Amino acid sequence: MKTLADYIEQYGFDGWKSGPLAQHPIVMMLRDEIANPGSTSLASLDRSSLEIAVKVLKNNPEDGHTLSSGSLPFISLTINYSNIEPYKFDGNMVPYRAHMDTNLKKHGSITYVRGEKDNPFTQHTDTISNTGVVVKDVAISTNFDALKVCYNGALSSVALGSDLFATNKVVTSKEILQNMLELVLQYGIDTPEHMKSAFGSWAYADGVVDAAIQQEAKLPLYSQLNDPASDAIIKGYLAYFGRPADTAGLQYWVDATNRTGGDATAMINNFGNSAEYRSMYGNSTSMEVVNSLYQHLFNRDAEKGGLEFWSHHLETGALTLADLAFSVVNAAQGSDSKAIVEKVAASRVFTGNLDTQREVDLYSNNQSALNARKWLSLFSENDFRNSKLLNVTVDVINKLQGDVEPILIGQGFDPLYY
């Protein structure tokens, strides 16, 4: 079975080896797979999808780098250049081509984007490595353009007074319709009022519109996020659990802190009595607890001197874990201090985005806590990386009961400690 590396070796990364009529390796790989099924690593992809890609190729023969279909479900094939080593181009094509060929044979991959059959607005990304290894769903996200197309098609069905099945082949069940309506409300494509007037009298949608609106109705803003005590509570959640606060927990501990004179340290000491703390640290040594705290706060293990110093104070009772956590936070400098600032800011964004009952319900158990921990663990002093993570906050929240790693990996991240 021929791989991407084989085609780059034969044709060059952009087809430069094939002469004036350059044949891009993706194009040649696709043609070979259609002619001889199973002969290339594209064989792992859906056959009908490949046939759609061939139609795109026939309509756009000059475009071999990215083959995209605007039809539903959306499909695209492209070479991923993100992992290759940088090269300073000086105008000389010979070393540049050699560099690109060598790097793509070692590190290049094929990216395949597809929509679900009945939900094309949910977009999946698969990758095929240079050696033919397939990784499914490295990213799952919402395709806003496809979502708008599907939604406008459903609106047209209503306007025509026709049966849904006859006029919209995408939306084929009440479950799919409700999922689409929730996404439309979530991303502000339409208002609840207009949606209700458009769908409310439609027999097929009976109950679906109300259910979607109820799930996506915005909850009142959490005043606790702006309370002076919230900063300490958020840092406590970060140090102890490595995750953003849930809305109920933030509200409870901020209110409790204010009722007892503003001593957040006393409140955070109670975190050690929680089931979550026991499940994470129940059989851990003092050194393991201190090291976990460093990982949560700084994305690194504790240095030997700090590990021994803080562990000793924890074991002797000179410091509670809450005292220790705030001492470490307050002593942080340089990149460590910046990492804490960014993680606290990200935690505020996360908790603030839990603004519908559906999202609050999603963040309610050990699985969701683990997924939130994976997301927050990747924030650092690097502003560019952090902005990429903030951009997928809503997608991460929507997958809290599943697996957020495909979303994170799709953004170029590898979850650290979890």
DSSP string, 35-51: HSTTSBGGGGS-HHHHH
Contact indicator for 405, 372 with CB cutoff of 8 Å: no
The pLDDT score that the predictor gives to residue 390 is 94
Paired sense of beta strands 75-80 and 66-69, if any: antiparallel
CA distance 93 to 89: 8
Q: Please count the residues of the chain.
A: 418
The rounded percent of the chain whose pLDDT value lies above 90 is: 26
Phi, then psi, of 79 in degrees rounded to 5: -85, 135
The pLDDT score that the predictor gives to residue 186 is 78
The pLDDT score that the predictor gives to residue 62 is 46
The pLDDT score that the predictor gives to residue 338 is 93
pLDDT over 50 at 156, yes or no: yes
SS3 229: coil
The pLDDT score that the predictor gives to residue 396 is 93
> How far lies 98's CA from each of 9, 20, 32, 103, 132, in Å?
10, 18, 25, 9, 22
Question: Could you tell me the pLDDT band of residue 388, with boundaries at 50, 70 and 90?
Answer: very high
DSSP 379: -
Q: What is the mean pLDDT of the chain?
A: 83
The pLDDT score that the predictor gives to residue 63 is 44
Question: Could you tell me the pLDDT band of residue 166, with boundaries at 50, 70 and 90?
Answer: very low
Question: Could you tell me the pLDDT band of residue 169, with boundaries at 50, 70 and 90?
Answer: low
The pLDDT score that the predictor gives to residue 69 is 52
**pLDDT (average), residues 313-329:** 87
Q: Which residue did the predictor score with more confidence, 244 or 319?
A: 244
Q: Which residue did the predictor score with more confidence, 70 or 183?
A: 183
Residue 286 tokens, joined: 């003092």
The string of pLDDT tens digits covering residues 75-87 is 677 888 777 777 7
Phi, then psi, of 117 in degrees rounded to 5: -60, -45
Question: How many C-beta atoms lie closer than 10 Å to residue 358's C-beta?
Answer: 17
The pLDDT score that the predictor gives to residue 157 is 67
H helix runs in 353-412, sequence order = 357-362, 366-376, 383-391, 393-398, 405-410
pTM exceeds cut of 0.75: no
Give the strand order in the sheet containing 75-80: 66-69, 75-80, 109-115, 122-129, 134-142
**pLDDT (average), residues 126-131:** 85
pLDDT over 70 at 188, yes or no: yes
The pLDDT score that the predictor gives to residue 253 is 92
CA distance 352 to 384: 21
**Shortest CA distance to 343 belongs to which of 308, 414, 293?**
293
- Side chain identity, residue 42: L
pLDDT over 50 at 330, yes or no: yes
The pLDDT score that the predictor gives to residue 162 is 46
